[in-house]
């Protein structure tokens, strides 16, 4: 059964359309809490600012490109995602013991936790895709990145000094190589 | 075979097939769940990379002034003010906390929590600033009624609830503090496991080691209090 979209969805819609009122409301509701949590847990105000902005950009991208629909209140969702991102950052700095303890996931079932989990999973996949991309040759990277960033592939072909047909063929080969690397990393068909 | 399907999928999506090949691919696609999965995964990779390569400059420009407004480090306090505050805290500590007493585990591992004073632009802003000032000065008697008011107005606000519970504990209203910390632990806020730690500290103060250990055991290894929790558990053995 499809879940109902939460009324706070207007905050995400506002974020996507750069609406000052909605973005202000997000900061008013969440900024002080995220700051308190991070400063309270071995971080600085600058760390809090970075984490807050990174999470907003993540949410923005998920909403803009993947039509993220909020099924829980925005505030706990934002706080949960910031908390997880900060804990991951601490783990990378080796300030926290890295663990696969499943106890932390026992409370999953709440919409907030589920949405935070989904966003984290998307980010983890994105990291794997980007790692694979970086292992491609320079020419492949140039073609894939250029075609994803530019409006017209014909213009890209001209810029790269190749024919449009060659560009499509080369991009297919490059993307197939990328897919195979992702598949090798994730197993099966590249699913997780 | 799998490699063929991946390349065919890439060629299909990138428009590198002629009409005849495209039609053949679509016919196979309709009857081949594996190929459908390849196509879905291919589109996911493509979209994810497009997201990562997207230019978010415009969004960051919108966020920049708000970051400046909401993430400002507290102003540095002049040294004389700082020294007078330290003296006041020491005097307060001498009178109330009697630091000459033997340090117990609760004292050793207590969290020195601070309320961050940040402009939130809501109707309670002045009240919250006043509370934070009292709390951070250690004036829990003055902070208590204000936090109670904030908590009653917004019982769902985990931030205020957490600091209200600490203040209750500091003013020896232990039963109420325990109830609030237990409620926080039952919820899913970012203060969930910190509440468990605070409960453990309260039970340590009461010399109820069994309850203290019970709450310390609930703190997961990814929590910052985990190492302290484990040290206390070891000291209690």
B221 with A125: Cβ contact below 8 A: no
**Cβ(A86)–Cβ(A77) below 8 Å:** no
A132-136, B117-121, B190-194, range with the lowest pLDDT: B117-121
Three-state SS at A59: helix
**Cβ(B218)–Cβ(B197) below 8 Å:** no
Quote the distance between the C-alpha of residue B106 and its chain's center: 23
**This prediction's pTM:** 0.59
Q: Which of A34-43, A88-97, A174-183 has the highest mean pLDDT?
A: A174-183
What's the pLDDT tens digit per position in B17-59?
A: 999 999 999 999 999 999 999 999 999 999 999 999 888 888 8
What's the pLDDT tens digit per position in B124-150?
A: 777 887 888 888 888 898 899 989 988
Distance, CA of B148 to CA of B136 (rounded, Å): 16
Nearest to A110 among B55, B122, B188 (CB): B188
ipTM score above 0.90: no
Distance, CA of B168 to CA of B95 (rounded, Å): 19
- Chain B residue numbers touching A104 (CB-CB < 8 A): 220, 222
Tell me whether A144 touches chain B (CB under 8 Å). yes
Q: Determine if residue B102 is left, alpha or beta; phi over 0 gives left, psi from -120 to 50 gives alpha, anything else beta.
A: beta
Distance, CA of B137 to CA of B130 (rounded, Å): 11
- Token readout for B148 is 């109670």
Q: Which of A31-45, A100-114, B213-227 has the highest mean pLDDT?
A: A31-45
Tell me whether A2 touches chain B (CB under 8 Å). no
In this predicted structure, the answer to whether residue B77 has a pLDDT above a threshold of 60 is no
pLDDT at A18: 92
Percent of the residues in chain A that have a pLDDT greater than 90, as a whole number: 50
A176 or B1, higher pLDDT? A176
pLDDT at A102: 36
Tell me whether A107 touches chain B (CB under 8 Å). yes
Which residues between 46 and 65 in chain A have a beta carbon less than 8 angstroms from any beta carbon of chain B? 46, 48-49, 52-53, 56-57, 60-62, 64-65
pLDDT at B39: 94
Which residues between 114 and 133 in chain A have a beta carbon less than 8 angstroms from any beta carbon of chain B? 122, 125-126, 129-130, 133
For residue B75, give the nearest of A27, A45, A42, A40 by alpha carbon: A45
Q: What is the distance in angstroms between the Cα of A27 and the nearest Cα belonging to chain B?
A: 7
Size of chain B in residues: 237
A27 with B34: Cβ contact below 8 A: no
């Amino acid at each position: 059964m499809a879940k109902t979209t939460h009324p706070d969805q207007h905050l995400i819609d506002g974020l996507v359309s750069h609406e000052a009122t909605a973005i202000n409301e997000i900061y008013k509701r969440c900024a002080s809490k995220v700051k308190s949590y991070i400063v309270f847990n071995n971080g600085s105000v600058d760390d809090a600012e970075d984490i807050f902005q990174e999470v907003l950009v993540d949410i923005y991208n998920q909403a803009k490109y993947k039509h993220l629909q909020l099924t829980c209140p925005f505030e706990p969702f934002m706080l949960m995602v910031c908390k997880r991102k900060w804990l991951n950052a601490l783990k990378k700095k080796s300030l926290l013991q890295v663990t696969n303890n499943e106890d932390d996931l026992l409370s999953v079932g709440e919409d907030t936790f589920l949405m935070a989990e989904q966003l984290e999973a998307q980010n983890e996949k994105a990291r794997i895709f980007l790692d694979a991309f970086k292992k491609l040759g320079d020419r492949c990277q140039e073609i894939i990145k250029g075609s994803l960033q530019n409006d017209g592939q014909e213009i890209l072909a001209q810029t790269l000094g190749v024919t449009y047909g060659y560009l499509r063929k080369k991009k297919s080969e490059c993307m197939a190589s990328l897919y195979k690397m992702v598949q090798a990393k994730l197993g099966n068909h590249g699913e997780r | 075979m799998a490699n063929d399907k991946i390349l065919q999928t890439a060629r299909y999506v990138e428009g590198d097939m002629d009409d005849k090949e495209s039609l053949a691919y679509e016919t196979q696609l309709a009857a081949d769940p594996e190929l459908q999965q390849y196509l879905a995964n291919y589109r996911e990779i493509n979209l994810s990379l497009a997201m990562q390569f997207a230019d978010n400059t415009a969004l960051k420009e919108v966020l920049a002034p708000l970051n400046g407004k909401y993430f400002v480090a507290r102003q540095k306090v002049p040294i004389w003010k700082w020294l007078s505050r330290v003296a006041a805290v020491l005097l307060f500590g001498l009178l109330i906390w009697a630091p000459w007493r033997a340090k117990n585990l609760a004292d050793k591992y207590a969290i020195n929590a601070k309320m961050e004073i940040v402009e939130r632009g809501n109707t309670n802003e002045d009240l919250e600033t006043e509370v934070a000032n009292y709390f951070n000065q250690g004036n829990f008697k003055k902070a208590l009624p204000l936090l109670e008011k904030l908590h009653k107005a917004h019982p769902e606000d985990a931030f205020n609830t957490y600091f209200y519970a600490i203040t209750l504990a500091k003013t020896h209203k232990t039963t109420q503090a325990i109830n609030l910390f237990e409620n926080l632990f039952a919820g899913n806020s970012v203060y969930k496991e910190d509440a468990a730690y605070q409960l453990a500290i309260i039970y340590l103060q009461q010399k109820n080691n069994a309850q203290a250990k019970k709450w310390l055991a609930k703190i997961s290894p990814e929590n910052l209090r985990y190492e302290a929790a484990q040290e206390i558990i070891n000291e209690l053995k």
